[in-house]
Amino acid sequence: MQSLARLLSRRTLSFLSSLAFSSLLWLPASNASAAIVPYLGEGSPILGASLITTGGEVVATFVTGSGFYDNYLYVSSPSGPFTNADSGSIGSNWIFENHFSSPGATVSLGTFAAGTEIIFNVLADTHGGGFLNWYTGPASRNADGLEHAFVDAAYTGPFGGVMVGFEDLAGLGDAGFEDIRYTFTNVTVGSVPEPGMLALIGIGLAGLGFARRKQQ
């Protein structure tokens, strides 16, 4: 009977180990393609990735924009001079606009301590259908539950820095992520796991620890 209990404990331990490991394999940072329209200097675009500062001044450079909607870029967090206080209207403090900004135009966003996540917000004017707000980072930040921006830290194009591209259509539409694209200096890619995925990992690791204690 004791041997059977030990066998079951070993099997439980093995299962929970596999659960925790497989959960890590499915973090959002592994999302990396969809139908992203190719661009010069493309490296490894990652959907749903976050932007983490490495310390110092962060300078944004406009690359390109397209689409029917007018897209206005803001900094959602940390709150500052480029934060839109009213997500239902166009503020005058936007960084870039997909139709008005010129390729190569630069804007200093200020100095940030290393390790700060900058969350960027695109306000899309649909011209009659209201405004849509999309954010960098995980899908949970967006009203339709989808990732609306990619981050490419391996970008080698003429503007340098880390490339970001947004898709402005609810439900992603053609998922080209070319509606507004820009680069930033002194940032790197970080991943923010979805709450459900974090819970799954936590359950697996907690069960793993319990099984080990029981086996001892």
Sign of CA dihedral 193, 199, 200, 205: positive
Question: Sheet containing 106-112: which strands, arranged edge to edge?
Answer: 46-47, 149-152, 162-166, 180-184, 56-65, 106-112
Per-residue H/E/C for 35-79: CCCCCCCCCCCEECEEEEECCEEEEEEEEEECCCCEEEEEEEECC
Q: Looking at residue 97, what DSSP letter applies?
A: B
In the Cβ-directed half-sphere of 39, how many Cα atoms lie within 13 Å?
31
Q: How far, CA to CA in Å, does 177 sit from each of 58, 114, 181? A: 22, 28, 8
What does the pLDDT read at residue 89? 85
Q: Is 165 helix (H, G, I), strand (E, B) or coil?
A: strand
Q: How far, CA to CA in Å, does 163 sit from each of 15, 89, 138, 202, 215? A: 40, 26, 17, 32, 49
What does the pLDDT read at residue 10? 56
Q: Residue length, the chain? A: 216
Q: Looking at residue 1, what DSSP letter applies?
A: -
pTM: 0.74
- pLDDT per residue, tens digit, the chain (216 aa), is 444 344 335 554 454 445 444 443 344 433 445 589 999 999 999 999 999 999 999 999 999 999 999 999 999 999 999 999 877 889 889 999 999 999 999 999 999 999 999 999 999 999 988 999 999 999 999 999 999 999 999 999 999 999 999 999 999 988 899 999 999 999 988 764 444 444 444 555 455 454 455 555
Q: ω into residue 81 within 30 of 0, thus cis?
A: no
What does the pLDDT read at residue 215? 54
What does the pLDDT read at residue 216? 54
Contact yes or no for 137/119 (Cβ under 8 A)? yes
Cα 136 to Cα 212: distance, rounded to the nearest angstrom: 39
